[in-house]
């Protein structure tokens, strides 16, 4: 007897755990699995609704009394770099982008370890070994590329970004860079280059992940012009960051059943060719 996977995605909720962005709070995620040949369609549809991908899972924050995390994206056509960002582009003009298939290398992992040990030694990924790193890069059921940035003068790998190619943009799943090049602003450079990449591909958006008002580690995202955030079921242009609050309130999040009922799913039937 032949058994097939369910065509309608099943949604689940994680157990509460300490929030990595706001101290003293607990986070919870709503998630579903990416599987089969419908992965790209589901990734495209849910990314437009504030979800993010991690390996073969799509997730969105669903904390019981906090709605601070807001999915953020840049509107490419409206973006213009600030004076500081133009200086960053000029400073890194010698970097070369290499787009590769999602395949982990020892060189990538060495850079990744230096980045974690310097910037996130206490984070949830601090103990990730080379096999777990390879899984993060390679276990993708969707259209993914690894963007490597090399110094054309020395040949050194200085930054890497795991990037999903969506039907309406590029999604920066995870990036890391040489922690010793502090003055080069490599994190900003990688975002600026993804804006250029989206323009080259004629795609309207660059998805940045979550912006969290009140979180110092996420504050840099608000410095990009033409930023939109996903709030109450729709995208809106970011107002001043001070307009967004991160207070805890028991009615700040809809019940899980209502959240799932409100998710707009793509046609999950067999794809016509």
List the chain domain ranges. Answer: 11-69+246-261, 72-242
**Where residue 36 falls among pLDDT bands split at 50, 70, 90?**
confident
pLDDT at position 269, please? 65
Asked if 254 and 225 touch (Cβ cutoff 8 Å), the reply is no
Return the bridge partners of 236, or none: 229
**Where residue 38 falls among pLDDT bands split at 50, 70, 90?**
confident
DSSP β-ladder status, 144-151 and 95-100: antiparallel
- Measured distance CA(224)–CA(15) in Å, rounded: 33
pLDDT at position 7, please? 65
Task: Indicate the length of the chain as a whole number.
Answer: 273
pLDDT at position 271, please? 58
- CA-to-CA separations, 42 to 36, 45, 114, in angstroms, rounded: 10, 5, 34
- Measured distance CA(36)–CA(192) in Å, rounded: 33
- Measured distance CA(32)–CA(13) in Å, rounded: 9
- Measured distance CA(101)–CA(120) in Å, rounded: 26
- CA-to-CA separations, 229 to 46, 212, 222, in angstroms, rounded: 14, 10, 10
pLDDT at position 64, please? 87
Residue in 174, 151, 150 with CA at minimum distance from that of residue 98: 150
- The CATH code belonging to domain 72-242 is 3.40.630.30
In the chain, count H helices and then E strands. 6, 14
User: Is 128's pLDDT higher than 60?
Assistant: yes
Half-sphere exposure of 15 (CA within 13 A, CB side): 0
**Where residue 122 falls among pLDDT bands split at 50, 70, 90?**
low
User: pLDDT tens across 200-255, in order?
Assistant: 999 999 999 999 998 888 889 999 999 999 998 999 999 988 888 877 877 778 88
User: pLDDT tens across 72-118, in order?
Assistant: 999 999 999 999 999 999 999 999 999 999 999 999 999 999 999 98
User: pLDDT tens across 145-204, in order?
Assistant: 999 999 999 999 999 999 999 999 999 999 999 999 999 999 999 999 999 999 999 999
> CB under 8 Å to 169, separation ≥6 — which residues?
73, 76, 198, 203, 204, 205, 206, 207
User: Is 3's pLDDT higher than 60?
Assistant: no
pLDDT at position 123, please? 62
- CA-to-CA separations, 36 to 4, 223, 267, in angstroms, rounded: 10, 38, 14
Residue in 199, 244, 194, 203 with CA at minimum distance from that of residue 224: 194
């Amino acid at each position: 007897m032949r058994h097939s996977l369910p065509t309608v995605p099943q949604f689940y909720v994680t157990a509460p755990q300490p929030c990595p962005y706001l101290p003293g709070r607990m986070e919870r995620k709503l998630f579903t699995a990416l599987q089969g040949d419908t992965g790209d369609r589901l990734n495209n549809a849910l990314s437009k609704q504030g979800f993010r991908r991690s390996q073969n899972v799509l997730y969105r924050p669903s904390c019981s009394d906090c709605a601070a995390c807001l999915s953020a994206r840049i509107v490419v056509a409206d973006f213009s770099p600030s004076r500081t960002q133009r200086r960053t582009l000029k400073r890194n003009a010698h970097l070369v982008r290499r787009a590769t298939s999602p395949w982990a290398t020892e060189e990538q992992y060495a850079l990744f370890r230096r980045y974690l040990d310097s910037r996130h030694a206490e984070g949830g990924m601090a103990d990730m070994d080379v096999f777990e790193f390879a899984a993060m890069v390679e276990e993708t059921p969707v259209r993914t590329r690894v963007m490597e940035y090399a110094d054309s003068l020395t040949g050194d790998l200085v930054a890497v970004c795991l990037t999903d190619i969506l039907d309406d943009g590029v999604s920066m799943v995870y990036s890391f860079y040489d922690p010793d090049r502090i003055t080069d602003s490599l994190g900003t450079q990688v975002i600026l280059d993804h804006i250029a990449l989206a323009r080259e591909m004629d795609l309207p958006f660059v998805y940045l992940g979550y912006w969290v008002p009140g979180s110092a580690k996420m504050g840099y995202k608000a410095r990009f012009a033409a930023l939109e955030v996903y709030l109450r079921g729709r995208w809106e242009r970011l107002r001043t960051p001070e307009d967004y609050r991160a207070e805890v309130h028991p009615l700040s999040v809809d019940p899980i059943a209502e959240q799932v009922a409100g998710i707009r799913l793509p046609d999950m039937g067999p794809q016509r060719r």
